[in-house]
Structure 1
Amino acid sequence: MKLRQIHPLTWGVLFGTFFARLATFFVMPFFAIYLATLGFSASVIGTIFAVTALSGLFMSFFGGTLSDRYGRKQLMLIGIVLNAVTFAGLALATELFWFYMLSMLMGMSRSFLEPASRALISDTTQADQRVIVYNVRYFMINIAAAIGPLLAVVLSLTGVKTAFFVVTAVYVLYGIIISTLFYKYPFEEGDGVKARPRLTETFRVLRDDRTFRAVIIGMIFAIIGYSQFNSTLPQFIALRDGLEDGSRLFAYLLTTNAITVLIVQYPIMRFGIRVSPIKSLFFGISTLSFGLLLIGFATVEWVLFVAMAIFTVGEVLMFTMTDVLTDELAPEHLRGTYFGAMGLTSLGQTIGPIIGGVLLDTFGQSSLPVFGSLALLTGCGAFFFAAAVRERKAVLALVEENAG
């Protein structure tokens, strides 16, 4: 694939996503610390984060469908503006009420911007090139996540109001650039805008598309497992006797995760293309579960590093193919709806840390009951991916039969 074959609007989305995520990672890793400096308790801070997740979960039913109904440009710009307003508001807010309102707005804005931008990539990219473009997007997000917090530390922007205004400025610039690109490179909207799907279209899709429904449920289990990386694992390392200097060890594990992503992403992308995206998700959740189980057996540090590498391979197997699979399953006029419905998988992000916390409270430093249980729970998603494989084969066989 040659770079000049990538549509300018796609370039705008890729670089806009990169810099927006980079700026966001200035703030979000330190947001809880910032809230604590304002005097809020840990439980209250937890509810602020929960509001964002629940708001995004609710709007997943509508955000993508709105982009099918009214067009990518409108929903992207609304999402960008709402993000800019949100982060500017967070810099100015001092009362708990406003943090709740702004957290809700943050969840809504993501549900507008993310499905519309990913659907725009599909709209402006040839089918045989989308897997590469989606993997470039995933790669850029990982780079942003790796260097964003470090850059904030270097610039002394951790947990200060200035950081929120930096994020606001980046979103404003993103909005200006994407508006200019839409003006300079107009493109014909797909059939979705002409057909104007109903706002309840997501419910119909989940009811009728059994393959996609199975994938959604499987991804919820997968994200329950993946969420332990940033919630249960660091707490376990901090509490576990025999593991020296928990903060240092977890930092090294983060580095292992980032390096592994960079090493394995391209070969895994090729593997996913060869075996099909759904099978890639099946192998991914199985590998992720095995990584969690191995953490349960870790009594020395090197086992944790091996477990982290395996865990990361599972992560990449799933997340490099999720957008590709969604694009493959979605009819052209419902791309936004399908990408929006994928936001329902954030349910796993909402309940995963709670389950991990309960297991830690119950079993304490007994690692195998904690991570063995999490591995078993995560592995349940493999049954739904296997069901999705069967459903997809049946659908394709029916299409071939009708064509014949």
Structure 2
Amino acid sequence: MLATLRNYPTTVNLLLSASLVLTLARAVTLPYLVIYLAGNFHLGIADTGLVIGSALIVGSLLSLYGGFLVDRLSSYGLILVSCGVFTAGFLGTFVARDLWLFYLCLVAINLAYAVIDIAVKSGFASLLPVAGRSEVFSIKYTLTNIGYAVGPFLGAGVARLDISLPFLLSAGLGAGFFFSYFVWGDRGLAGVGANQPPVPFLAVGRLLLRDRRLVCFTLGGLFSAVVFGQFSAYLSQYLVVTTTAETTYRIISTLVATNALTVIGLQYLIGRRISQERLHLWLAAGLAMFILGLAGFALSTTLGCWVIAMAIFTLGEIIVFPAEYMFIDKIAPSHLRGMYYGAQNLNNLGAALGPVLCGAVLATQPAQSIFYMLMLFIVAGGGLYFLGASVSGNTAPGKVD
């Protein structure tokens, strides 16, 4: 991977560094949001979940317009502005004393992060040939997971001094990337649509809805994200119901580490081999790994079994993530890539829905029922993936009316 990075132009490496640094900034504070909201704003567990989940959902929905801007404006300027909002959002969480202001800052952070992510993926498509995109997407996902793996440890270090300091550290990381990109960023980087006549956002949205491949794949991704979007949350819910709090903490911490190490160790090796020619076979393999992993969770009675099941589950994650990117990259017209990647961000709605559904099932059904329900979501998501892949390419949008 390091050899590949050395061969990339500076622009690509800067875009990859955005994924690492800004994900690291988010991960520094994520483990402490629940504690911070409960301690500083005196929220119960249900209200805390509502604040965090709805901020993610609102940011994801607004990122659709962010994708529209990626297609229309200079990516250099948009990344700088979004990074500025990202940094200001964390500074706002550090100083906010009212819940409404803290919530707006969370929405701004999630929105800015999503827009930068869309601009990064669109930039890869502009700068690299089709054959090299699966590799760069795999590197991006590997770096993202390194950020999520390292961030909580950095946050833990500064949180010992003061629980609000992780937010200040995140703001510092955002500011550091802002100044780096300001100096070395490619000022000529822009979406193809930036050179075309301006088109209303709603007109482009209607156009995308006519692309049945995109609709099927977006819904398939949303259903699948119920399963892998926040697996640690619903596994924690299951373990709290079936074991003790001490056992839950021990197993979850081990599983999160297993997931991160598996992704970091294997994502690049496997992801670079995913090709558009056999995309449906790769997707089938990834979805099968998810189902096997869920079955393993349902049957696990020892820590070793949990670790094996998580390793299998993570193989599905390693395959499906870049495969999703490759499919969207394949069907997206060059002048609408930002909007297509913005639609893909709606997967976050599924991620936010997962713990809610699992909590409802755990409250009314035998505990293991959540894994059978999640298997059904994988089957439904897989059906939509393959329906989208089988639809004729002539359903893609052309000109905006």
TM value normalised by structure 1: 0.89
**Any conservation in 2 of the 1:79–1:113 contact (CA below 8 Å)?**
yes
Aligned to 1:172: 175
**Any conservation in 2 of the 1:80–1:172 contact (CA below 8 Å)?**
yes
For structure 1, the 5+ residue unaligned runs are 400-404
The 3 A distance-change label for structure 1 pair 354 and 188 is closer
CA separation in 2, counterparts of 1:153 and 1:41?
23
Aligned to 2:289: 287
For structure 2, the 5+ residue unaligned runs are 397-401
Alignment of 1:80-159 (within 5 A): 80-156=83-159
User: Could you tell which deviates more after superposition, 312-321 or 260-269?
Assistant: 260-269
Once the two structures are TM-superposed, the CA of residue 314 in structure 1 deviates from its matched residue by 0.8
CA separation in 2, counterparts of 1:81 and 1:270?
32
Aligned to 1:259: 261
CA separation in 2, counterparts of 1:226 and 1:92?
33
Residue 216 (structure 2) pairs with residue 214 (structure 1)? yes
CA separation in 2, counterparts of 1:375 and 1:353?
15
Aligned to 2:393: 395
Once the two structures are TM-superposed, the CA of residue 342 in structure 1 deviates from its matched residue by 0.9
Amino acid at match of 1:6: Y
CA separation in 2, counterparts of 1:116 and 1:137?
13
Aligned to 1:357: 359
Q: 318, 321, 346: which one pairs with 1:319?
A: 321
**Any conservation in 1 of the 2:232–2:252 contact (CA below 8 Å)?**
no
The 3 A distance-change label for structure 1 pair 2 and 142 is closer
CA separation in 1, counterparts of 2:96 and 2:342?
29
Residue 363 (structure 2) pairs with residue 370 (structure 1)? no
User: Could you tell which deviates more after superposition, 51-60 or 337-346?
Assistant: 51-60
Residue 12 (structure 2) pairs with residue 10 (structure 1)? yes
**Any conservation in 1 of the 2:139–2:267 contact (CA below 8 Å)?**
no
CA separation in 2, counterparts of 1:65 and 1:283?
33
What SS does structure 1 have at the residue aligned with 2:97?
coil
Amino acid at match of 2:66: G
The 3 A distance-change label for structure 1 pair 278 and 81 is farther
User: Could you tell which deviates more after superposition, 319-328 or 84-93?
Assistant: 319-328
CA separation in 2, counterparts of 1:352 and 1:212?
22
The 3 A distance-change label for structure 1 pair 144 and 190 is closer
CA separation in 1, counterparts of 2:4 and 2:114?
31
User: Could you tell which deviates more after superposition, 19-28 or 277-286?
Assistant: 277-286
What SS does structure 1 have at the residue aligned with 2:64?
coil
Aligned length: 392
Aligned to 1:381: 381
CA separation in 2, counterparts of 1:43 and 1:271?
42
**Any conservation in 2 of the 1:216–1:345 contact (CA below 8 Å)?**
yes
What SS does structure 2 have at the residue aligned with 1:216?
helix
Q: 34, 39, 56: which one pairs with 1:53?
A: 56
Aligned to 2:275: 273
CA separation in 1, counterparts of 2:355 and 2:82?
27
Q: Which runs of 4+ in 1 moved over 6 A?
A: none
**Any conservation in 2 of the 1:7–1:125 contact (CA below 8 Å)?**
no
What SS does structure 2 have at the residue aligned with 1:174?
helix
**Any conservation in 2 of the 1:202–1:341 contact (CA below 8 Å)?**
no
**Cα displacement string for residues 138-193 of structure 1 (whole angstroms, at most 9, x for unaligned residues):** 111111111111232244458722221111121122112112223xx443634310
CA RMSD of aligned residues (A): 2.4
